[in-house]
Amino acid sequence: MPHAEHFNLRKLRTLYSLSFFFAIATAAVAYSESSFLETFIAKESVGLVFVASYLVALVLLARLDRVIARLGKQHTTLALMFLSLVALFILAYTKNPFVLIPTFVVYIATLVAAWVSLDILIETFSSDVLTGRIRGTQLTIMNAGWVVTPVVAGFILETYGFPRVFTIAFGVTLLVFAIVFFGFRKIEHEHIRPHGFFSTLRAIARHRSLSHIFIIAFLLQFFYAWMVIYTPLYLLSIGIEWSDIGKIFSFMLLPFVLFQYPAGWLADKWGSERGILITGLTIIALATSTLFFVHTSTLWIWALLLFTTRIGASLIEIMRDTYFFKQVDKRDVHLIDFFRNMGPLGYMTAPLVATAILSVTGIQSLFLVLGVLMLGGIVIAARIPIAK
């Protein structure tokens, strides 16, 4: 049922700005993570560190509803961000790989959980009848942070190295911590009944609409993990510099700013989530497969093709969130936790599959395999009931 009585535009605007800055902090590190790890361990082992990181994130998310029930939404978010700050500080100023790798795992796990906690805050002040527009606005503003960051981060990385990138991420995360601390002190501590893992699974299985959108969410996160980890490694291997990679990635991410709000508006007005999902999956599958056939280091070609993959991803992402959050409300913390578990699951599964593929073929083959996998998502999307 709609919960318009919880709608609070002022708090939502604060959360929008918070999402923007937190996206900058996240993006500053995201596309250099695999290259950072490669300075300490072999390329073939990079994926395994991500598997460990997101396994810890899954364990953390499995307990998140219990933590929120005990501490409240604001204190939980602050605690997670504090742990991220500590991890970023260590990553910036320590060179010991035996310290850096476990710290990296902690950083990823707490970062994932902090984003889920922010999701729950947004749902607290949202209205179902405006879900598409609210989520579209939030994703557009958040992704604007992702767009502006890679160019700057690429320049800083090439000029000053990894420590300065982590230092910048630390500073921006500290700003986000302050916004949460001062902006949400008066949230009422609601009683939230924790749910077990299997009871949550049963609740999802009973609802066809939820089970199908969970699969779509997993596929999208699988795509993100695959591309975030291996695209920079491949571009570096064919001679493209970090400063140019940053420019390519900033252009690549523009669809998240251009298309998500209009798509969310269409979903609210016409209930067209399923059709837009199918369109997005078709685009992402074809564009990603095409990358396998590209044998050039020409920047504009890579920028255009990666831009096209993100047109598909942006449509899938906004429809995924719009459809899901129309099915739940702020009391369904266990479902929101499980929904965002698709991120860690994708980031665990993708490196395992990619590592197996890399043992028998080259890195460029990963794009063709990923494109074929995304094509299979169209069958799932076609079976999703129309949102009510």
Spatial contact of 75 and 186, defined as CB atoms under 8 Å apart: no
Residue 111 lies in a domain: yes
Which CATH number fits the domain that encloses residue 185?
Answer: 1.20.1250.20
Q: What total of structural domains would you count in the chain?
A: 1
Q: Give residue 163's domain range.
A: 4-382
Residue 29 lies in a domain: yes
Q: What is the percentage of the chain residues whose pLDDT exceeds 70?
A: 88
What distance, in Å, lies between the first and last C-alpha atoms of the chain?
10
Residue 387 lies in a domain: no
> How far is the C-alpha of 2 from the C-alpha of 62, rounded, in Å?
27
Secondary structure E strands in the chain: none
Cα dihedral across residues 210, 23, 67, 108: positive or negative: positive
**Confidence check: pLDDT of 388 > 70:** no
Residue 341 lies in a domain: yes
> How far is the C-alpha of 325 from the C-alpha of 130, rounded, in Å?
10
List, for residues 21-70, the tens digit of each pLDDT value: 999 999 989 878 888 888 888 777 788 888 899 889 888 888 887 888 88
What is the model's pLDDT at position 3? 43
Spatial contact of 292 and 381, defined as CB atoms under 8 Å apart: no
Q: What is the percentage of the chain residues whose pLDDT exceeds 90?
A: 37
List, for residues 75-118, the tens digit of each pLDDT value: 899 999 999 999 999 999 988 888 999 999 999 999 999 998 88
pLDDT band at 71 (very low <50, low <70, confident <90, very high): confident
List, for residues 201-237, the tens digit of each pLDDT value: 666 666 667 888 889 999 999 999 899 889 998 999 8
> How far is the C-alpha of 227 from the C-alpha of 111, rounded, in Å?
19
pLDDT band at 195 (very low <50, low <70, confident <90, very high): low
Residue 388 lies in a domain: no
Residue 242 lies in a domain: yes
What is the model's pLDDT at position 282? 97
> What number is the average pLDDT over the span 339-356?
85
pTM reported for the whole predicted model: 0.78
Residue 30 lies in a domain: yes
List, for residues 132-177, the tens digit of each pLDDT value: 678 778 888 988 888 888 888 888 888 888 999 999 999 999 999 9
Q: Please give the mean pLDDT across all residues of the chain.
A: 85
> How far is the C-alpha of 274 from the C-alpha of 21, rounded, in Å?
31
Residue 33 lies in a domain: yes
What is the model's pLDDT at position 205? 67
